[in-house]
Structure 1
Amino acid sequence: MIGSNTAFFRYVCFLFVFVFFSSSFETIAQDISQVSGQVFDGESGEPLPGAAIYWENQPSRGTVTDQDGFFSLPVASLPNNLNISFLGYKLAVRSFKNKDELVDLKFFLSPEEVSLSEVVVSERRQDYNVKSTAIGKNEISGDELRRIPALFGEVDLLRSIQLLPGVNTAGEGTTGLFVRGGSSDQNLIQIDGAPIYNPSHFFGFFSVFNPDAVSDVALYKGNIPANFGGRASSLIDISLKEGNTQKIRGSGGIGSISSRLTVDGPLFSEDASFLISARRTYADIFLGLSSNESLKDNQLYFYDLSGKLMWRNGEKNKFTFSTYYGSDFLGLAEQFGLGWNNWINSFEWDRQINDKLFLDVTAYYSFYKYKITVTDEDNGFDWSNYFSESGGKVALTYIPRENTELKFGVHSQLYYFAPVDLQFSDSENIQPFESTTRIGFQNSFFIAGNAELTEKLSVEAGLRWSAYQQIGDGVNYIYENGDPTIDGVVSDTLNYNFGERMQFFDGLEPRVAMRYLLTDGLALKGSYNRNYQYIQVASNSSAGLPIDRWIPAGKYIEPIRSDQVSVGVFKNLNDNKWELSLEGYYRDFRNIIDLKQNADVLFKDNVETEILTGDGWAYGLEFLLRKNVGKTTGWLSYTWSRTYRKIEGINKGLPYNPRFDRPHDLSLVLTHEINDRLSFSGTFVYTTGVAVTFPVGSYVLDNQRLPIYDEYRNQSRFPDYHRMDLSLTLKNKDKGRWWKGSWNFSVYNAYGRKNPFSYEFTDIMNNDIQFDSSDGLEVFSQRPGVVKTYLFGILPSVTYNFTF
């Protein structure tokens, strides 16, 4: 390990020396054969990603701006005109006579005064679906998110992602994502480069992302770029908006269960901006007004705060700082309380060293904490835990020529899992429980590049090497049989000091994707991806809970390895107005964990005694038809997929389906602008029911009927799930005032489908499922039965949205 640490130290030193001295050689390194600059929105001052830049006499050899509005283009013969175009904006043309004029270029585009109700800014070019090497990638803009009908009128990012092909859920009312056969903990969800470990409010009913603060979101489920890693299944990359640099503006909404407010604008000058966004529920206020004493003293709320600062130091340096804090709390009178918090910070420095070389530096800190309190003299307890990830990434991007890019860098991560702290009220008779600290340190080095080898063939390839070690302060248990899952008898304990290596893993993660143009509007793509994941969740719930136990790789639990092969056909229709794709994939998992029957991972320090390890695989076909322009937009997606696990000790060693295996998944999303003030949105979803284990019998103990389960897992299914949501948005008349408002009327589950949330196998007395024998009433009949619980019937909501 000393050798790898030394190599890491030398590499980091080299990068920082290179960066700090690069400015001294900037003039020498400048290539006068390239013209570079930045494109902005003329009204807000925000960068415009995806704007087209080309010389007037070479329209077919242009380029597009990156996510920060930067571009670099070879200089054509002068004099010449440089054209800058973007959908929904007026064409900008600037004339140049000699190369001395090609410096300090900034372009501010003005929106076209046409009948478009809004302009959607996206870093994608119109033919991106066909011309790029991207496979297994989907994007949703912040504007699209806000148009999709939502539960309780609360627009939700993760629930919107569930409408994309290849993404399944664990059931009604959850935001957990299961992407191409992977479990929910195998998704890397990050905000401006910082990971978030519990992305949900209200036990998964809502995600933590305020839609007003989100710029866009990208889902990578096929070819994940080599500069990202750490998860086996997918990457969900979320970007917060930057504040505009021209004027103060705001937006918000007052909804059925929560209200939100976002304010952004310039900070001291046009070179800096801020954005602040807040959201809070008021369910606890309504509970306090209730006349029901059993509800009056209860508490149920969440709130979150987001912020982003941006500062440009000259034309070549840009600094951003993003932060997020979210809190949830559920309290039942003075008897029970459960709360959890997320706190995330991210700092980014983007520097244009010269026309061909760009530097990106990211540092972040992600913290998650939960606490449970039960107030009782005899059986009360306080249970709390927290964990964090700190990290830094340095990446250099080199663009030697048009349509060729090379990126390389290093990413370091420190995982800290604090001991579980469990204190009992009756401390004299019950000993407090405390687990041991777990610390992981990971370094990853990556190199990636893409190039157009010919007019038809484009390749993107990368290699990532990840090295992970579990370090002290910590404990390794030694078991009598060498296998903790046999009887769990500890024969010895090995203690490690702080920083001492306990276990080491490493692996190479190759990634490659290719695109071949069959015709100008038709492409064939393929990719191969390998990913290692060194931390995973051990939980009895597939939906994800605030108290889920994260387990780092160690002596008895190896890291997950995921290999995926994808192929697809991509076609654009009707002058790029329609996008069509058909993708197939096969994914292989190694070292997947699952729990033994009746396992307990919450109150054990040596959780390896409750965990079994094996393999898994998944395969499927994904169809997507999408329309991005016009009065009617949206998409139709269909996925056929299967997911399997094979673990000795579960299902008699035979392959079985995890709960989220749902072979058929259909989603339809439509938005139609009826006129300038009125728009309609609707979604329809249909999926196969989740896989479950139903009891095969029952027995009576102490006058209670208890279920009997056999050794086979998930052999049954819930009924198929389907639902329709509708939404109507009415904008107030524009009278030229600074305040603009609109009303959104939505209906969740429009035709009242009673989709099952759970089944309870119990005794039904007097043919009444709500009969309570404790009331002292006489029991006339008693029979075994099944009680179905569903969460939502027809659920209307109203939201007032505003901007100023």
Structure 2
Amino acid sequence: MKFLTLTFIVFLFLGNPLLYSQEQSFISGTVYEVEENAPLPGANIYWESEPQKGVVSDINGNFTLPIIALPAKIVVSFIGYSQSVRILTAKDLEKPVKFYLKPEELSLEEIIIRDVNPEQNVKGIEMGKSVVPIETIKNIPALFGEVDILRSLQLLPGVQTAGEGTTGLFVRGGSADQNLINLDGAPVYNPSHFFGFFSVFNPDALSDIEFYKGNIPAELGGRVSSVIDVSMREGNFQKIRGEGGIGTISSRLTIDGPLFSDQSSFIVSGRRTYADLFLRLSNNENIRNNQLYFYDLSGKFTFKLGEKDKISFSTYYGSDFLGLSGQFGLGWNNFISSFNWNRNISATKFFDLSAYHSRYQYQVLFDDPQDGFNWTNSLSESGVNLGWTWLLGDNSVIKAGYHGQFYHFSPINLELAPESNLTDINTNQKNGLLNNLYVSGTTEFGNKLLVEAGVRLSHYQEVGKGVLYQYADGIPSPEAEVTDTLTFGRLERMKVFQKLEPRISFRYLLAEDLSLKAAFNRSHQYVQVASNSSAGLPIDRWVPSGTYIEPLRGDQVSVGLFKNLANGTWEVSVETYYKDFRNVIDLRQGASVLFTDNVETELLSGVGYAYGAEFLIRKNVGKTTGWLGYTYSRTWRKIEGISSDNWYNPRFDRPHDVNLVLNHEFSDRWSAGLTFVYTSGQAVTFPVGTYVVDAQRVPVYGDQRNADRFPDYHRVDASITWRNQDKGRKWRGSWNFSVYNLYGRKNPFTFQFTDIYNDDINFDPEDGGEIVSQRPGVVMTYLFTFLPALTYNFKF
């Protein structure tokens, strides 16, 4: 009943477009790329007589366009492709139409950094949204030559990084766990390889990336800061093809093509590093026995069931392992699978169904007769998502649906060595059941005002099988005595939360190429990470909401101006935002959360806020393309029991951030890319003094958290690409040479406060050498300076 009431309220707010849309007729169809017979998202479709009322094809190449008096000419265009013009009659309304666009021969002279209508930046309702084409990402200089989508998103305004070489994202004052990262609708809980140096996504297997950092649609939820929606591309329906690369640190291969007929396709992709193969060549036995690798495999199978239905199956598996001399091992892996069904009920009604399962697990192994152990743990999420879309008229859309999620956090599995002196650890599983209903609508009032409003109702239950500890005075703390333990059976209700998440946004056209946008967005998050690492570790502890941990709430208000110049050649935008956080968690001083079953005793919760301004100028067309972005932002937290109950900055508070991205096409064979990054140093806590215990100097920390900062961070990356001439060959290759940190800036990764012997930071007194002098000092560790990489990429 509540859901029907919310739907009615939204309809009223939007002016009830149902009252005037019933007589509107539409024509629907799909746009394909002719050579690959693959859907072409972002194509522009409009009537020749009314170009200002066009639409854009979606991620599946589908579009729906209101009809005019027929017969009439319809135009389909996409930058870099030949235009398609066709005369349509009333007979064409009987079934969806198909358009096939052919690439222009001179399309290589331009690099397009977006694949949407040039007017979408100004006339669309979206704020804080970026659609990043894969080809753009592939042109950005990369660490070790490894193209990485998450590191590319770090170059956008409003996105901060955890530090040198990591893929962690901190969006508009939110922590890394506040980002929802989906792969074909399934969440990815650890999106990184090599401790965050690379992301789990192989760019050759992807079609599109949508990044929301503000005005998150009502159909997406579960995180309070951002959504990164990644889609795997469909295989070619006509012919077998492949692409890949051989790089400095890894190689990759992707093959796709028709599966059984031209109505089904497949794509499979694999990638593996070979650092461990080089370790085996060492003469040092300790180095030779080390293991260091990651690999991932992904696939997608698509089936067209007539003109109206399409289903697809997607799967991903990725694994990392670090082993040192056969004594210590750390490994983790992701397994993701999803099913999607898209149905075009009619020209104005659409239905989507998806079901998924995502599992993340890790292992820590220590081989020792007395202190050895094998520690494993895992978490998983399973869900189903049903969504309906109705087109009601020009720029009038209603969406509604249901999203159900089940969280399972396994107990710690600790196997001790037979002669171990360690104490066994017993923990209990935790489970959560989350049901969401959502409805949203978009409509236009006149020619200037466009409004989108929606609401999401979430109902969360902490359920058994599990236990609930009760504490003296009802407040969990390390000193509090456990007075009772309550046991709950399978799916028995333990705690319930029900939250409402309203969302509304406006776009007002001040001129044809200038608009003002504003949005309000409320989100709730029922799972958070308890960690003292800003960069994110494979063993970070995810904790669900429950009796002692309230759901995190985030409110965001944003306002922006958007301007197009020179017919869309340039885009300029300014966005400001303010975010309010409630029930944000942080660790107590000296907390330990990895092995405890009473994790609530190590956590404190409070409030926070963040604000900022983002400036972006971007060139979309021409031989030279790219963007320049600047962000000023601050984020603060206040949690009783931390930093003397005063406001403090999280480690990812970095006030100033500048990013420059440039690509230039010298010819159809030579191109170059350059990026410049500057950001304020991350907030940290330095010791205020030291004391000596057993001849060892121990640092002393003050009460204020993160009151100090690292030095400012900056670097330049550059790359140059050479492509062989395309003379109709089946095999096409290119060489990419890149340099990470071109001028060798020594950006700090860590600072260690320790004793320095003999004025030599590498001197180890345990080696038995003579100690001439001893003094306290600070040792800075940096990871990369001038780092070249060479990659050979190919297609066939």
TM-score band by shorter chain is over 0.9
- How many Å separate the matches in 2 of 1:462 and 1:271? 37
- How many Å separate the matches in 1 of 2:26 and 2:241? 37
Shift in Å, 1:267: 1.6
Q: Which residue number in structure 1 is paired with residue 732 of structure 2?
A: 740
Is the 8 Å Cα contact of residues 44 and 247 (structure 1) preserved in structure 2? yes
- How many Å separate the matches in 2 of 1:714 and 1:429? 37
- Among residues 776, 791, 794, which one is paired with 1:799 in the alignment? 791
Structure 1 residues 104 and 530: alpha-carbon distance in aligned structure 2, compared to 1, 3 A threshold: closer
Is the 8 Å Cα contact of residues 153 and 746 (structure 1) preserved in structure 2? yes
Per-residue CA deviations over 1:76-96 (Å, capped at 9, x if unaligned) read 223322222222222222224
Alignment of 1:772 onto 2:771? no
Shift in Å, 1:65: 2.0
Gaps of 5+ in 1: 12-28
Shift in Å, 1:426: 4.6
Trace 1:124-143 onto structure 2 (pairs within 5 A).
124-143=116-135
Alignment of 1:238 onto 2:227? no
Alignment of 1:720 onto 2:712? yes
- How many Å separate the matches in 2 of 1:55 and 1:553? 52
Q: Which residue number in structure 2 is paired with residue 24 of structure 1?
A: none
Per-residue CA deviations over 1:590-632 (Å, capped at 9, x if unaligned) read 0000001110101110011110110000000001111121111
Q: Which residue number in structure 1 is paired with residue 362 of structure 2?
A: 370
- Among residues 621, 627, 636, which one is paired with 2:628 in the alignment? 636
Structure 1 residues 117 and 687: alpha-carbon distance in aligned structure 2, compared to 1, 3 A threshold: same
- Among residues 487, 490, 496, which one is paired with 1:504 in the alignment? 496
What secondary structure is seen at the aligned counterpart in 2 of 1:286? helix
Structure 1 residues 574 and 678: alpha-carbon distance in aligned structure 2, compared to 1, 3 A threshold: same
Structure 1 stretch displaced more, 144-153 or 63-72:
63-72
- How many Å separate the matches in 1 of 2:568 and 2:772? 69
Per-residue CA deviations over 1:664-709 (Å, capped at 9, x if unaligned) read 0000000000111000100000000000000011111111111011
Alignment of 1:539 onto 2:531? yes
Per-residue CA deviations over 1:523-573 (Å, capped at 9, x if unaligned) read 000000000000000012111100000000011100000000000000011
- How many Å separate the matches in 2 of 1:97 and 1:357? 22
Q: Which residue number in structure 2 is paired with residue 21 of structure 1?
A: none
Structure 1 residues 306 and 119: alpha-carbon distance in aligned structure 2, compared to 1, 3 A threshold: farther
Trace 1:647-726 onto structure 2 (pairs within 5 A).
647-726=639-718
Structure 1 stretch displaced more, 359-368 or 421-430:
421-430
Structure 1 residues 104 and 216: alpha-carbon distance in aligned structure 2, compared to 1, 3 A threshold: closer
Shift in Å, 1:164: 0.5
Trace 1:288-687 onto structure 2 (pairs within 5 A).
288-426=280-418, 430-485=422-477, 487-687=479-679
Is the 8 Å Cα contact of residues 80 and 107 (structure 2) preserved in structure 1? no
- How many Å separate the matches in 2 of 1:366 and 1:530? 26
Is the 8 Å Cα contact of residues 224 and 529 (structure 1) preserved in structure 2? yes
Is the 8 Å Cα contact of residues 373 and 414 (structure 2) preserved in structure 1? yes
Is the 8 Å Cα contact of residues 423 and 433 (structure 1) preserved in structure 2? no
TM (normalized to structure 1)? 0.95
- How many Å separate the matches in 2 of 1:581 and 1:698? 49
What secondary structure is seen at the aligned counterpart in 2 of 1:244? coil
Per-residue CA deviations over 1:708-744 (Å, capped at 9, x if unaligned) read 1111111110000000000000112334321111110
Q: Which residue number in structure 2 is paired with residue 785 of structure 1?
A: 777
- How many Å separate the matches in 2 of 1:119 and 1:748? 22
What secondary structure is seen at the aligned counterpart in 1 of 2:573? strand
- How many Å separate the matches in 2 of 1:745 and 1:116? 19
What secondary structure is seen at the aligned counterpart in 2 of 1:738? coil
Matched residue type, 2:286: S
- Among residues 151, 154, 174, which one is paired with 2:166 in the alignment? 174
Matched residue type, 1:713: R
Structure 1 stretch displaced more, 158-167 or 85-94:
85-94
Q: Which residue number in structure 2 is paired with residue 148 of structure 1?
A: 140
Structure 1 residues 664 and 339: alpha-carbon distance in aligned structure 2, compared to 1, 3 A threshold: same
- Among residues 53, 57, 67, which one is paired with 1:75 in the alignment? 67
- How many Å separate the matches in 2 of 1:229 and 1:537? 17
What secondary structure is seen at the aligned counterpart in 1 of 2:58? coil
- How many Å separate the matches in 1 of 2:418 and 2:591? 26
- How many Å separate the matches in 2 of 1:77 and 1:526? 36
- How many Å separate the matches in 2 of 1:785 and 1:98? 82
Per-residue CA deviations over 1:745-795 (Å, capped at 9, x if unaligned) read 000000000001011111111111111112211111101111111001100
Trace 1:109-258 onto structure 2 (pairs within 5 A).
109-114=101-106, 116-117=108-109, 124-258=116-250
Count, aligned residues: 781
Matched residue type, 1:395: G
- How many Å separate the matches in 2 of 1:578 and 1:737? 36
CA RMSD, Structure 1 to Structure 2 (Å): 1.8
Is the 8 Å Cα contact of residues 114 and 620 (structure 2) preserved in structure 1? no
Structure 1 residues 296 and 219: alpha-carbon distance in aligned structure 2, compared to 1, 3 A threshold: same
Per-residue CA deviations over 1:264-297 (Å, capped at 9, x if unaligned) read 1122222111111100000000001111222000
Q: Which residue number in structure 1 is paired with residue 15 of structure 2?
A: none
- Among residues 20, 27, 42, which one is paired with 2:34 in the alignment? 42
Shift in Å, 1:155: 0.8
Structure 1 stretch displaced more, 771-780 or 76-85:
76-85
What secondary structure is seen at the aligned counterpart in 1 of 2:152? helix
- How many Å separate the matches in 1 of 2:92 and 2:251? 53
Per-residue CA deviations over 1:240-260 (Å, capped at 9, x if unaligned) read 111121211111000000000
- How many Å separate the matches in 2 of 1:424 and 1:206? 32
Shift in Å, 1:115: 5.3
Shift in Å, 1:434: 2.2
What secondary structure is seen at the aligned counterpart in 2 of 1:43? coil
Gaps of 5+ in 2: 8-20
Is the 8 Å Cα contact of residues 109 and 623 (structure 2) preserved in structure 1? no
Is the 8 Å Cα contact of residues 30 and 354 (structure 1) preserved in structure 2? no
Matched residue type, 1:399: L
- How many Å separate the matches in 2 of 1:302 and 1:318? 33
TM (normalized to structure 2)? 0.96
Is the 8 Å Cα contact of residues 96 and 102 (structure 1) preserved in structure 2? no
Shift in Å, 1:52: 2.4
Structure 1 residues 96 and 529: alpha-carbon distance in aligned structure 2, compared to 1, 3 A threshold: closer
Identical aligned residues as a percent? 59
Q: Which residue number in structure 2 is paired with residue 23 of structure 1?
A: none
Is the 8 Å Cα contact of residues 66 and 123 (structure 1) preserved in structure 2? no
Is the 8 Å Cα contact of residues 48 and 123 (structure 1) preserved in structure 2? no
Matched residue type, 1:665: D
Per-residue CA deviations over 1:139-189 (Å, capped at 9, x if unaligned) read 211001111001111111111111111111121121111101100000000
Q: Which residue number in structure 1 is paired with residue 746 of structure 2?
A: 754
